[in-house]
Amino acid sequence: MKCYICENGCAIPEGNTGACGHYKNKGEQIIELFPNKYLTVCPISIETMPVLHFYPRGKFLQISTTGCNFTCDGCISALIVEEMAPGSKALRELLPQQVVDRAINNDCIGVAFLLNDPLASFPTFLKVAELAKKQGLLVGCSSNAYFTESSLAKISGYLDFINVGVKGLSDQAYQNCGGSTVEPVLRNIKTLHEKGVHVEVSCMLKTDNMEEVVGLAEIMAQISPDIPLQLMRFIPLEGADPSLEPSIREAEDLYWRLRKYLNYIYLFNSPGTNYLNTFCPRCGEVNYKRDFYGPMGAKLTFPETVSGQKNICPKCGRTIDMKAAPAEIKYQEGAFEGGYPFTRALEMMEAILIAIGVTDKKKVVQVWEEVLCHEGLNKLHHDIQNLESYLGTIKHFGELTKTENKAEELVVFMQEKISRVKDGRSAIKRKPRVYYVMGKPLFCLKGERLENQLVEAAGGISVNKEIECTGRPGMQISVEQLNALNPEVIFISAFLSSSVEDFYEECCKAGIKVDAVKNMRIYTHIASGWDFGSPRWILGLLHIANVLQPEIYHFDVIEDAKKLYKEFYEIDFSLSDLNRSFSKPSSMWKWNKN
> Model pTM?
0.95
Q: Strand, coil or helix: what is 49?
A: coil
Tell which residue, 289, 582, 302, has the closest CA to residue 470. 302
How many other C-beta atoms lie within 10 A of the C-beta of residue 198? 22
The answer to whether the CB of 517 falls within 8 A of the CB of 507 is: yes
Mark whether 12 and 42 lie in a shared domain: no
67 occurs within a structural domain: yes
Tell which residue, 336, 291, 292, 324, has the closest CA to residue 109. 324
Tell which residue, 394, 389, 379, 296, has the closest CA to residue 345. 379
Tell which residue, 391, 364, 333, 298, has the closest CA to residue 49. 298
The answer to whether the CB of 114 falls within 8 A of the CB of 141 is: yes
CA angle 417, 575, 73 (to 5 degrees): 115
DSSP β-bridge partners for residue 288:
278, 305
The answer to whether the CB of 148 falls within 8 A of the CB of 122 is: no
274 occurs within a structural domain: yes
The answer to whether the CB of 446 falls within 8 A of the CB of 471 is: yes
Mark whether 355 and 293 lie in a shared domain: no
584 occurs within a structural domain: no
DSSP H helical ranges for 116-182: 122-134, 149-156, 171-175
- What is the total count of domains within the chain? 4
For the domain that residue 513 is a member of, what is the CATH number?
Answer: 3.40.50.1980
pLDDT along the chain (594 residues), means of 10: 94 93 92 95 96 96 95 83 84 97 98 96 98 98 97 97 95 93 97 98 95 97 98 86 92 96 97 96 94 93 60 91 90 87 92 96 92 93 96 97 98 98 96 98 97 98 94 94 98 92 97 98 93 96 98 98 96 86 86 73
Environment class of residue 111 by beta-carbon count within 10 Å: exposed (0-12), middle (13-18) or buried (19+)?
A: buried
Q: What is the pLDDT of residue 82?
A: 81
Mark whether 256 and 349 lie in a shared domain: no
Q: Which of 423, 455, 481 represents a domain boundary (last residue)?
A: 423
Segments forming the whole domain that contains residue 296: 34-305
For the domain that residue 228 is a member of, what is the CATH number?
Answer: 3.20.20.70
Phi, psi of 230 (to 5 degrees): -105, 115
The answer to whether the CB of 525 falls within 8 A of the CB of 495 is: no
Mark whether 358 and 472 lie in a shared domain: no
Mark whether 159 and 266 lie in a shared domain: yes
321 occurs within a structural domain: no
Q: Which of 423, 449, 484 represents a domain boundary (last residue)?
A: 423
Mark whether 21 and 41 lie in a shared domain: no
The answer to whether the CB of 90 falls within 8 A of the CB of 368 is: yes
Mark whether 445 and 379 lie in a shared domain: no
470 occurs within a structural domain: yes
The answer to whether the CB of 514 falls within 8 A of the CB of 541 is: no
Please give the Cα distance from 342 to 79 (Å, whole number).
10
Tell which residue, 86, 33, 45, 83, has the closest CA to residue 64. 86
The answer to whether the CB of 141 falls within 8 A of the CB of 113 is: yes
240 occurs within a structural domain: yes
Mark whether 301 and 357 lie in a shared domain: no
Cis amide linkage into residue 303, ω under 30° from 0:
yes
Mark whether 361 and 259 lie in a shared domain: no
Cβ-Cβ contacts under 8 Å for 427 (sequence gap 6 or more)? 551, 552
CA angle 580, 582, 585 (to 5 degrees): 80
Mark whether 264 and 277 lie in a shared domain: yes
Q: Strand, coil or helix: what is 398?
A: helix
Q: Is the dihedral of CA 489, 494, 500, 506 positive or negative?
A: negative
314 occurs within a structural domain: no
Environment class of residue 559 by beta-carbon count within 10 Å: exposed (0-12), middle (13-18) or buried (19+)?
A: exposed
326 occurs within a structural domain: no
Mark whether 234 and 99 lie in a shared domain: yes
Q: Which of 423, 440, 459 represents a domain boundary (last residue)?
A: 423
Mark whether 405 and 450 lie in a shared domain: no
Q: What is the pLDDT of residue 302?
A: 66
Residue 388 corresponds to which amino acid? E
